[in-house]
């Protein structure tokens, strides 16, 4: 684990399993209660360590939180690399993107809830800086992919690239929200019906379909409406 502003040296020295327990516990409590309602003494107890130790690892409740966020963004970054934005048509890339997003969200649901917490605005400025970096890599990935698609003639030429990139990001965010937040999950169920819940394939296809149409992806690229109609 690389050095960080948010945890102290002592934390680096303890067993990785213990680090994991602390992170997992803390993430779960923060995700459930929110930053303010979360009780750091309770986190320590649940993680099986003393508060004294907690404070020997992290300078404050806020630092603990930031360390978690940082960790989550690291994981996100790693996950994102599986998108292979250089391989295949834009349709292929988008498909991989949504699959990766779903996998990450289902693997780290609490982490995603934390992310939601951050975007809720009540978090400190410091959190912004942290996620800025991750946002930047996503942004540049989206724009690169789109630019290449335009060059290859996969996408209509008159497209507003910036807007399109934002759109892709929005779709990813909304998908994550639906899998993360109780609220958005219920909403999705209400829209798609209870029986559709869990049908990740439908979500992937619909998203890819919708975005491809929006981008004016030519049928030749293998993303015709017919492939996705239900």
Could you list the residues that contact a second copy (CB under 8 A)?
Answer: 31-37, 113, 116-122, 128, 131-132, 135-136, 139, 156, 158-160, 162-163, 165-167, 169-171, 173-174, 177, 180-184, 186-188, 190-193, 196, 202, 206, 209-211, 213-214, 216, 225-226, 229-230
Can you tell me which residue has the tokens 């997003």? 101
Q: How many angstroms separate the CA atoms of 131 and 169, rounded?
A: 14
Based on the shown chain and the rule CB under 7 A, indicate whether residue 165 belongs to the binding site for DNA.
no
Based on the shown chain and the rule CB under 7 A, indicate whether residue 175 belongs to the binding site for DNA.
no
Nearest to 139 by CA among 190, 78, 85: 85
17 binds, among DNA, a second copy, none (CB under 5 to 8 A by kind): none
Count other Cβ atoms within 10 Å, centred on residue 79: 16
Per-residue contact string for residues 47-76; x = within reach of DNA by CB under 7 A: --xxxxx-xxx-xxxx--------------
Please, are residues 40 and 51 in contact by the beta-carbon 8 Å criterion?
A: yes
9 binds, among a second copy, DNA, none (CB under 5 to 8 A by kind): DNA
99 binds, among DNA, a second copy, none (CB under 5 to 8 A by kind): none
Report how far apart, in Å, the C-alpha atoms of 198 and of each of 102, 138, 189 are: 11, 26, 10
Please, are residues 64 and 137 in contact by the beta-carbon 8 Å criterion?
A: no
Q: Compute the least distance from the CB of residue 25 to DNA, in Å.
A: 13
Q: How many angstroms separate the CA atoms of 111 and 24, rounded?
A: 9
Q: Which is nearer to DNA, 10 or 120 (CB)?
A: 10
Q: Compute the least distance from the CB of residue 54 to DNA, in Å.
A: 7
């Amino acid at each position: 684990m690389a050095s960080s502003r948010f945890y102290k040296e002592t934390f680096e020295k303890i067993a990785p399993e213990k680090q994991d327990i602390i992170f997992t516990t803390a993430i779960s409590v923060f995700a459930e209660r929110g930053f303010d309602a979360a009780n750091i003494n309770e986190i320590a107890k649940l993680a099986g360590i003393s508060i004294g130790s907690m404070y020997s690892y992290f300078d404050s409740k806020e630092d603990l939180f930031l360390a978690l966020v940082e960790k989550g963004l690291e994981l996100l970054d790693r996950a994102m690399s599986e998108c292979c934005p250089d391989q295949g048509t834009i349709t292929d890339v988008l498909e991989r993107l949504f699959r990766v997003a779903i996998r990450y969200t289902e693997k780290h649901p609490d982490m995603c809830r934390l992310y939601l917490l951050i975007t809720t605005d009540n978090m400190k400025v410091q959190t912004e800086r942290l996620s800025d970096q991750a946002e930047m890599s996503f942004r540049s990935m989206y724009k690169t992919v789109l630019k290449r698609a335009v060059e290859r003639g996969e996408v209509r030429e008159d497209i507003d690239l910036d807007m399109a990139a934002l759109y892709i990001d929005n779709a990813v965010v909304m998908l994550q929200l639906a899998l993360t937040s109780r609220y958005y999950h219920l909403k999705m169920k209400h829209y798609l019906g209870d029986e559709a819940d869990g049908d990740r394939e439908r979500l992937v296809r619909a998203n890819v379909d919708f975005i491809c149409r929006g981008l004016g992806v030519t049928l030749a690229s293998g993303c015709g409406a017919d492939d996705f109609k239900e």
